[in-house]
Structure 1
Amino acid sequence: MACLLLLMMLTACAASPQDLSGKMFTFPEETKTANVRLMTASRNFDAVTVCLRSITDLSRNHALFSLATKFVSNGFLIFKSPTEDVITLIVNGKSINFEVQDYKRNVWHTTCSTWDSASGLVQLWFDGKPSIRKFTGGSNITEPSVILGQEQDTFGGGFDVKQCFTGMISNVHMWDYILSPCEIQRYVDNLNFTPGNVLNWRALNFQIGGRVLIEHEQLPCL
C-alpha cells in the first residue's frame, strides 16, 4: 500500500503543474539516485536565463542546475567548484569559471545565469552582483533534459554521487530569453518579477526520484 501511495504521489507530480510558492526541494543525503526532473515548456532555445536559490554545506564540487541534450551532456550546467569562490557555467560543453564574492556554506544564495547564442556571451549574477560577460559561443539548445540534485553525464542519467547536491533548492525559474538587469534584481529581491516561461516555480511540472522532500521554506522570524 505504501509503495502504491508513493507511486501515485510521483505520478501526480508529473501529471500537472504545481504551485511551489513558499516551498523548497530538500535533498537530505549524498546519493546518486535523488533527483528532481523538470519538464520544460519549450524544446528549442537560442537564449537562456536560469535563476534559483540554494543552500548547502558542501565543500566539494556539485551541480546546482543540470541541462543535458542528446548531443552534449553539459548543455547548460551551473556547477559549484570545490574552490570556495568559483562557480562554473558550462554551455554546450564549453566551461567558463566565474569568481564570486562572499560565498558561504549554510547560507542561502541566489544564482542567476544568462547565455545568448547570437553573441555567444554568458554572465553570472550571484546574490544580485553581476560578473563580467564572457564568451562561450554555442548553437541552439534543443530537446533538453533538466535535472536538479544531480549532474547528468549522459542524457537523463549518468549520475555520480561525488557530484550530487545536498541541501535545499527553491524558486527555480528559466526563461528562453535574456532577462534585463532590473528584472534579475527584482527576482533577487523577491519582488513582482516576470516568472519563467520555460520553468515556472509557481506552475512547475516535475517528477521526483529517490529521497527528495517538498517542504515549506525556512524563513527568518520577523
Structure 2
Amino acid sequence: MLFARKKTEMPTAETALKGRPNALPTAAEHFIFGRALKGPYPQGLETAMFGFGCFWGAERKFWELGAGIWVTAVGYAGGFTPNATYEEVCTGKTGHNEVVLVVFDPKVISYETLLKTFWESHNPTQGMRQGNDVGTQYRSGIYYFSDAQREAAERSKTAYQKGLSSAGYGAITTEILPAPEFFFAEDYHQQYLAKVPHGYCGLGGTGVSCPVSTGVTSTTVD
C-alpha cells in the first residue's frame, strides 16, 4: 500500500530522477502511416497532446480517426526527468505522464474532434489512475499549444462535466496545462497496438457522450 501511495504522489524537482542529456532512440517512421515520426511536418498542420492512461491504447484512439491525422506518437511529458526511460517513468519518480502527441490537419479534422475522442475514451474522474493502472503517469491531461486550444479544452471540460454529473460521476480531475516538453518514448512503444493487435489496453470510457461541436475550423497555429 505504501508503494502504491508513493506512485500516486508527484515528486519534486529535487526528488525526481536526474535523467540523461541525450534523447532515447525511437522509431524513424510511423508504423501505419509511413511518415517521419519526428518531422519535419508539412506547413499548416497543428499539434495536440493528451494523456489518459496507458499510452498504447490512447494512441490507437487517434490514429483510428484516419483522415486528417498526419502522425501520432507516444512519449513522456509533464515531469522533471529529461529523456527518462519507460522503466523510470513507471517508478513514479519522474513526474511524467504517458502522453500521445497528435499532428493533424485542422482543415480536415478539428481540434474539437480530438477533444471529443479524448473525453469519451476514458474516465476522467479517477485522479492518478485509469482503471487498474495506478500511478502519476496515468493521470488525465490536456496540454495545449495555443490560447484557442486552451479555450476549447476548458469549454469541453465544462460541457462534459454536466453530462458526467447527470450520469452519477464525480468531478473531473483532468489537468489542462500549457504543453510541456515532449520526450519520444522508445521504439517498441510507438504504435504498439498496431504491431501487437491483441496487446494490453486498459482504457475504458464512461459511456457518456461529450456534447462538443466537431465542425472543421480553418484556424491554424504558427
What's the TM-score, normalizing by structure 1?
A: 0.28
* Greater per-residue helix proportion: 2
Q: 1 or 2 for the larger relative contact order (CA 8 Å, sep ≥6)?
A: 1
